[in-house]
Amino acid sequence: MSKNIPEKVSNRLTLYHSIMVEYIEEGIETISSPQIAQRLGIDDSQVRKDFKLLNNAGKCRVGYMVKDLKDSIEKTLGFAHAKDAFIVGSGHLGLALAKYDSFNSYGLNILALFDNDPQKVDMLVNNKQIFHISKLPNLVERLGVEIAILTVPRKNAQQVADFLIQSKIKYIWNFTPAVLKVPPEVKVWNENLMGSFLQFACKDII
């Protein structure tokens, strides 16, 4: 599977998926590319090109089967093989992500949270326990977790990242504004909130 879907495409696929979920809730069975395109403000041939990647044929004058599209998107994006992850940093952002149930349906399984604040330790968030950060290396090993979602304050980001790397974490989804220094075998994904906002802001708001 996962034959190198470009970033932009997988981004759009999740948006399409959201629309499919909504159509299913409303009991609508078919959807056309212009409908989707208009909703997202993109070109309709773009939508059809994306759908071709899914091997999902549409029908002229009718459109695509909503249910089939939803299934193909899930299959293509690998929602099936769930990946386990830890949230590191149990501030508001960490808690928000722990409660974000969409993760689960998109194949990301949050097993636990971590923090260095003794007051937070042992709390339950959305049925997930908060552990003291010192327990992390052991749990990484026992549970075979490779992904950490980093939501600590900026000033602790590098230090905590170093600790994660020592603990054999292989993928860091970085929600902090720090640009982490990591060895080449560790992959970082910067969730760059301001970058995407600024694009939005610069384009229209002068």
Partner DNA sequence: ATCAAATCGTGATTTTTTTCTTTATTTAGT
Partner DNA sequence: ACTAAATAAAGAAAAAAATCACGATTTGAT
39 binds DNA (CB under 7 A): no
Count the site residues for DNA by CB under 7 A: 25
192 binds its own copies (CB under 8 A): yes
d(CA 162, CA 81): 28
d(CA 100, CA 83): 15
Crossing angle, helix 44-53 and helix 7-25, to 10 degrees? 100
Chain-centroid distance, C-alpha 96: 13
Count the site residues for its own copies by CB under 8 A: 61
From candidates 16, 23, 51, 103, binder to DNA by CB under 7 A:
51
Interstrand relation of 108-115 and 83-88 (parallel, antiparallel or unpaired): parallel
| Interface characters, 136-155, with DNA (x: CB under 7 A) | --------------------
* Dihedral angle sign, alpha carbons of residues 163, 169, 174, 179: positive
d(CA 156, CA 160): 6
Three-state secondary structure string covering 54-83: CCCCCECCCEEEHHHHHHHHHHHCCCCCCE
Q: Which is nearer to DNA, 6 or 118 (CB)?
A: 6
From candidates 78, 129, 139, 163, binder to its own copies by CB under 8 A:
78
From candidates 93, 111, 123, 139, binder to its own copies by CB under 8 A:
93
Give contact residues for DNA (rule: CB under 7 A): 6-9, 32-35, 42-46, 48-49, 51-52, 57-64
Residues in touch with its own copies (CB under 8 A): 1-2, 4-7, 10-15, 18-19, 22, 39-40, 77-78, 81, 83, 91-93, 95-96, 99-100, 102-103, 106-108, 146-147, 154, 171, 173, 177-179, 181, 187, 189-206
